[in-house]
Amino acid sequence: MTKIAFIFPGQGSQVVGMGQEFVLNEPACKEFYDQADQLLAIELSKLMLEGPQEELTLTYHAQPALLTTGVMIADKLKRAGIEPDFTAGHSLGEYAALVASSVMTFADGVQAVHKRGIFMNEAVPAGEGAMAAVLGLERDVLKQVTDEVSQNGEVVQLANLNCPGQIVISGTARGVEMASEKAKEAGARRVISLVVSGPFHSELMRPAASKLQQMLSEIQMQDAVIPVIANVNAQPVTASSVISNLLVEQLYSPVLWEDSVRTLLAEGVDVFIECGPGKVLSGLVKKVDRKVKTYCVYDEATFNQVLEAAKEWA
């Protein structure tokens, strides 16, 4: 029996034209874009479909844009009879997973991530924080490096544990710079500075977390109909009270993506469907287990590929 996970990408996957074919061809898909525009009182759909990319990439635009596209694609898959057994999302993507699992409505979800983007943007002034991807170093070794730098007064920590040999660090600009140098000395193959607007998933995000907690307390959340794998502990969760606390913690805690994929594999998931622009998560899943089936749905052709493959899953 095939077990399916819907997975949702995080910030960085946004691209001008995202979801365009679905929105032009199907009123039920366009409805999500129209609703986002009305709820946020901004022309989000215009940014998503026409750009410019710089505007779309702003944290408080990218987050609702990715959630809108991801949820729209998941809805289209479900209407075609493809139902997930689990959902998971990378950072921001966890909110799309929660909407797909009926924990929160699309309306609440899209407004929540828009505000989350604003809170994150306000937490650390631009230029003061940084993130970098470290390739080819074990997590224990890299943690020793970040702990050492942090003890010397600069905040830096593991932020995204994406797949074997790929870990993102986050913290003050100086802290990330120092840790990057030390990581190379410790044997890292490469260190790549990321173009981001803040030190996400680090202690520096705590000011945003308190605002997020207040905002989430005002949202009516339901228990998950489909278990969601939480970023913070890489475990399946369904209780809405637990989910709310984990979302707050998620802002300043590492995204345990590799562990989340391993949890899904242990639960018997053998098909991963990435709902949203790009193929980033599918690539990370393959680095954890090359044998597993992965699909990315971002246009009519990729959607039809999944429909074709699904004939053999029953």
Q: Among all residues, which ones are annotated catalytic?
A: 91, 201
End-to-end CA distance of the chain: 7
> What does residue 227 show for φ and ψ, rounded to 5 degrees?
-55, 140
Q: Which residues contact 210 (CB under 8 A, 6 or more apart)?
A: none
Phi, psi of 63 (to 5 degrees): -65, -55
| Burial category of 38 from C-beta neighbours within 10 Å (exposed 0-12, middle 13-18, buried 19 and up) | exposed
The count of other CB atoms within 10 Å of the CB of residue 27 is: 8
Q: Is 289 exposed, middle or buried (0-12, 13-18, 19+ CB in 10 A)?
A: middle
